[in-house]
Amino acid sequence: MIYLDNAATSWPKPPETIEAMHAYLETVGGNPGRSGHRASVDAARALYEVREAVCTFFNSKDPMRVFFTHNGTHALNYVLMGMLKEGDQVLTTAIEHNAVMRPLRELEKRGVVIRTACCREDGTVDLDDFARKIASGITLSVVNHASNVLGTISPIGSIAELCRKHGVLLLVDSAQTAGSLPIDMQDMGIDLLACTGHKGLLGPPGTGCLVIGSHVDSTAIKPIIRGGTGSRSKEEYQPEDLPDKFESGTPNSVGLAGLLAGISWVTSRGVDIVRSHEVKLIARLIEGLQSIQDITVHGTRNPKESVAVVSFTCRGKTVSEIGLMLDERHGILCRVGLHCAPSAHKTAGTFPEGTVRLSPGCFTTLDEIDRTVDAVREASRS
Ligand SMILES: Cc1ncc(COP(=O)(O)O)c(C=O)c1O
């Protein structure tokens, strides 16, 4: 089997991720912050360790402003649904995932105005259009760090500069970049970072986090879930203390133990090393696919401007036919269709059919890429 669906969730996970989860279940076991006994205290300590690791990994300042979520969608919803209210204007781009667009469309029904910065067909953000639109009373800007359809990387530094200039908070969707591209929240000017734990950070499904910069007024975000936190138990109102305000209910401690191991794996390997490996993979993949007569590769086709996500279509074949042939005849697992991002496909001109998406990961080899190119060539002719 050749697994090329890392943009959906990474696989395989490092053995360390699996071992850490196993060890947690065997040796820790308590509910963090709920009791004073040693198993609960050990669990709270383990959780704090993950908070610190996430904070350090993204160079944020305060581990108590790292909030654990079930996934990236949950983290994005926390900010969008918790912050925006009737009359607010939000600025986004034309390559966003539905994890952003569906909450925004719901908010639109409640009187929030959505402004969308144009993107070119290859997924690059039109910064002039972004600059024009941000000057019109925007409260929050939410931007995809890299497209999950085209792989195109957004210029977060320049976007952050525009946000800062206009006093607009910047929320970055790092689902496709955390662990694969360096992210330094302070250096890049990111106010709020939404992450999945189960893709480039090599944690298990069911993990994610939201990191809120230390300068951001956390009272401006209402919790979307309220409940027990193990703190201030005599009060029936949600506490404002961080991180409790945004973390009601028993956390996924087992998953988070795995996430810590995943982050440690990426840190010890080095994000730069992961990145240069992935650049080599997609360079070979793009070159190979472009050499096939009926194949069109979408996106910038420049490995340096893209994460490890390559989308293509094939003249005379539906994306489902290609996906099925790759799976059944060659054991190559990819994703076809719209990838939960219709707006990105409208931008790329591939709506409504979608594309075949190949997304290698840090464990993919060049040999697997070569076999995939051969398989696509064969599928395109059959
Ligand atoms: C760009 C982007 N944003 C958000 C998400 C949602 O992440 P999750 O599946 O962790 O909720 C995804 C998932 O594929 C994504 O690619």
Distance of CA 98 from the midpoint of ligand 1 (Å): 8
Residue with CA at minimum distance from ligand 1 atom 15: 175
User: Which pLDDT belongs to residue 33?
Assistant: 83
User: Which pLDDT belongs to residue 34?
Assistant: 85
User: Which pLDDT belongs to residue 29?
Assistant: 81
Q: Quote the CATH superfamily of domain 2-10+270-381.
A: Aspartate Aminotransferase, domain 1 (3.90.1150.10)
3-state secondary structure 19-37: HHHHHHHHHCCCCCCCCCC
User: Which pLDDT belongs to residue 223?
Assistant: 97
Ligand 1 pocket, CB under 6 A: 8, 71-73, 97, 99, 144, 148, 173, 175-176, 196, 208
Could you give the CA distance from residue 350 to residue 91 in angstroms, rounded to a whole number? 24
Could you give the CA distance from residue 374 to residue 102 in angstroms, rounded to a whole number? 38
Q: Does domain 15-269 have CATH number 1.10.3720.10?
A: no
Distance of CA 341 from the midpoint of ligand 1 (Å): 10
> In this structure, how many other beta carbons lie within 10 angstroms of the beta carbon of residue 304?
10
Distance of CA 175 from the midpoint of ligand 1 (Å): 5
Best residue among 5, 70, 73, 307 to mutate for probing ligand 1's pocket (most ligand atoms within 8 Å of CB) is: 73
Distance of CA 68 from the midpoint of ligand 1 (Å): 15
Say if pTM beats, i.e. exceeds, 0.85.
yes
Total count of residues recorded for the chain: 382
Residue with CA at minimum distance from ligand 1 atom 12: 175
Distance of CA 72 from the midpoint of ligand 1 (Å): 5
Q: In sequence order, what DSSP letters do the residues of 133-145 get, joined into one string?
A: HHTTT-SEEEEES
Contact indicator for 144, 343 with CB cutoff of 8 Å: no
Q: Tell me which residue of 337, 330, 317 sits closest to 372, measured CA to CA.
A: 330
User: Which pLDDT belongs to residue 324?
Assistant: 97
Distance of CA 340 from the midpoint of ligand 1 (Å): 9
Residues forming CATH 3.90.1150.10 domain(s) in the chain: 2-10+270-381
Best residue among 5, 102, 196, 339 to mutate for probing ligand 1's pocket (most ligand atoms within 8 Å of CB) is: 196
Residue with CA at minimum distance from ligand 1 atom 16: 148
User: Which pLDDT belongs to residue 382?
Assistant: 87
Mean pLDDT by 10 residues, the chain (382 residues): 98 98 93 89 94 98 98 98 98 98 98 98 98 96 98 98 98 98 98 98 98 97 94 92 95 97 98 98 98 97 98 98 97 96 97 98 98 98 90
Contact indicator for 372, 323 with CB cutoff of 8 Å: no
What sign does the dihedral 349-344-93-121 (CA atoms) show? negative
Strand, coil or helix: what is 146?
A: strand
Residues forming CATH 3.40.640.10 domain(s) in the chain: 15-269
Distance of CA 99 from the midpoint of ligand 1 (Å): 6
Residue with CA at minimum distance from ligand 1 atom 8: 72
